[in-house]
């Protein structure tokens, strides 16, 4: 007969638990998939509005950080020892072991295309100036402007050597045939009467043979004054004409006048009795002329002009010994201050601006090379070169 069905196996004894019983499995949808919980309505609304705003903010940050603005920034540059950069024939060098540190410093300004963020920082920084690009470069490209400034540097070194050697009694011949206009800034009154290629040969009745002749004629005038210029149109002697050019205010100092043109010398020649080299690398512009002049004098004569003091110097050197105005004096004063200079020689009209940024540095205004030499003598340097004509060496 049939056996009775086997009894089901006994369930294992329940194990003790320390907490509540597990929750039942969650409900599932078709195919065993669990439904996704929807975000609260306020959360969705927040991202609906905040998402596009965040994209706009990030784009603005990227543009401000990387996109160029139509502005140029003038910031403090370097204060570089100059005497060690001067190379002379060994037989002429009275100071044959110039120190690497040097006591005379020439000053530079950093000029760069500003991003929007840099322009904003510059407007908030009293040591930085921000100008519209056209006021600095005009119609020039950065490459053209760079080339022009390197040419100005080359000229300033020749002028410095010429003036220094004449101060020491050497004979130096300087010749030139006029000043050529290479560019006229947009918006200045002179744009109505001057054009690129014109050569200025006379200003207010005085001959203009080299660039400093024209610079000197402008320096004695104010914005709004008119200059009478004789120009050779296109550089042709047979196309000479007289024009009246109204002077514009300088962008960095509206109280000072400018013609608003970029110029270069025509037919410039310096006949030096021996070769002098100054290694300036990629630095451009004419504003280190006075520093170069003083360094050459110091190297060609015994003793020290500065009596061991650290002296910063800026100013364009004119062939006749005048110190001409330069740009970026505020930024150069900051560079001198950071370098620990004790004294700073600056063109006379720019001394007030330098004082506002120089901190404890003694600012000394100078109008001529002789003014600079006298100032150094008062500070303890050699007095013989500060005005004693008998101390100059005979021409050679």
Q: What percent of the chain has pLDDT over 70?
A: 77
pLDDT of 298-354, one tens digit each? 988 887 888 889 999 999 999 889 999 998 999 999 999 999 999 999 999 999 999
Give the CATH number of domain 177-267; options: 3.40.50.2300, 3.40.50.10300, 2.30.42.10, 3.50.50.60: 2.30.42.10
Per-residue pLDDT, 68: 82
Give the CATH number of domain 73-112+144-171+275-385; options: 3.30.230.10, 1.10.3720.10, 3.40.50.720, 1.10.645.10: 3.30.230.10
Residue 250 has pLDDT above 60, yes or no: yes
Taking the CB of residue 11, how many other CB atoms lie within 10 A of it? Answer: 6
| Parallel/antiparallel/unpaired status of strands 240-246 and 86-87 | unpaired
Per-residue pLDDT, 290: 97
Per-residue pLDDT, 84: 86
**Structure-model confidence comparison of residues 248 and 8, the more confident one:** 248
Per-residue pLDDT, 2: 46
137 in Cβ contact with 145 (< 8 Å): yes
What residue ranges do the domains of the chain occupy?
Answer: 73-112+144-171+275-385, 177-267
First vs last Cα of the chain: how many Å apart? Answer: 149
pLDDT of 77-92, one tens digit each? 999 999 889 998 877 7
Per-residue pLDDT, 312: 97
Residue 6 has pLDDT above 80, yes or no: no
Q: Tell me which of 54-63, 172-181, 244-253, 254-263 is least confident.
A: 54-63
CA dist 370 to 142, 208, 219, 321, 374, Å?
A: 36, 23, 19, 8, 6
Decide: helix, strand or coil at residue 324: strand
* Span 223-240, average pLDDT: 91
Cite the beta strand spans of 255-392 per DSSP E: 257-258, 261-265, 269-271, 277-278, 311-313, 316-317, 323-324, 343-347, 362-366
How does residue 156 score in pLDDT terms, banded at 50, 70 and 90? Answer: very high
How does residue 371 score in pLDDT terms, banded at 50, 70 and 90? Answer: very high
**Structure-model confidence comparison of residues 15 and 23, the more confident one:** 23
Residue 201 has pLDDT above 90, yes or no: yes
pTM score: 0.68
DSSP assignment letter at 239:
G
Q: Tell me which of 14-28, 56-70, 95-109, 294-308 is least confident.
A: 14-28
Per-residue pLDDT, 342: 95
Q: Tell me which of 35-44, 112-121, 166-175 is least confident.
A: 35-44
């Amino acid at each position: 007969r049939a056996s009775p069905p086997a009894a089901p196996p006994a369930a294992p004894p329940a194990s003790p638990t320390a907490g509540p019983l597990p929750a039942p499995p969650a409900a599932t949808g078709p195919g065993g998939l669990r439904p996704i919980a929807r975000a609260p309505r306020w959360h969705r609304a927040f991202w609906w509005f905040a998402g596009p705003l965040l994209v706009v903010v990030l784009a603005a940050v990227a543009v401000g950080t990387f996109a160029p603005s139509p502005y140029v920034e003038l910031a403090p540059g370097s204060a570089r020892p100059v005497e060690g950069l001067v190379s002379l024939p060994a037989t002429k060098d009275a100071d044959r072991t110039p120190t690497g540190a040097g006591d005379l410093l020439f000053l530079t300004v950093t000029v760069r295309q500003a991003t929007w963020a840099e322009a904003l920082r510059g407007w908030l920084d009293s040591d930085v100036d921000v100008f519209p690009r056209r006021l600095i470069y005009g119609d020039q490209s950065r490459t053209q402007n760079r080339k022009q400034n390197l040419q100005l540097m080359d000229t300033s070194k020749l002028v410095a050597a010429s003036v220094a050697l004449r101060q020491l009694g050497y004979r130096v011949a300087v010749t030139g045939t006029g000043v050529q206009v290479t560019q006229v800034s947009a918006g200045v009154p002179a744009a109505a009467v001057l054009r690129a290629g014109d050569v200025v040969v006379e200003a207010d009745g005085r001959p203009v043979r080299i660039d400093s002749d024209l610079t000197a004629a402008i320096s004695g005038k104010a914005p709004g004054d008119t200059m009478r210029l004789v120009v050779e149109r296109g550089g042709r002697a047979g196309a000479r004409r007289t024009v009246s050019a109204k002077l514009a205010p300088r962008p960095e100092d509206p109280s000072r006048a400018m013609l608003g043109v970029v110029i270069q010398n025509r037919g410039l020649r310096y006949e030096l009795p021996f070769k002098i080299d100054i290694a300036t690398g990629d630095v451009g512009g004419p504003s280190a002329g006075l520093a170069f002049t003083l360094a050459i004098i110091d190297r060609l004569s015994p003793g020290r002009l500065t009596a061991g003091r650290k002296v910063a110097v800026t100013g364009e050197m004119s062939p006749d010994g005048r110190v001409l105005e330069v740009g970026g004096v505020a930024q150069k004063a900051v560079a001198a201050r950071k370098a620990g200079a004790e004294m700073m020689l600056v063109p006379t009209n720019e001394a007030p601006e330098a004082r506002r940024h120089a901190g404890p540095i003694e600012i000394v205004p100078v109008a001529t090379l002789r003014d600079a030499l006298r100032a150094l003598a008062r500070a303890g340097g050699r007095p013989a070169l500060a005005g004693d004509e008998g101390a100059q060496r005979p021409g050679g």
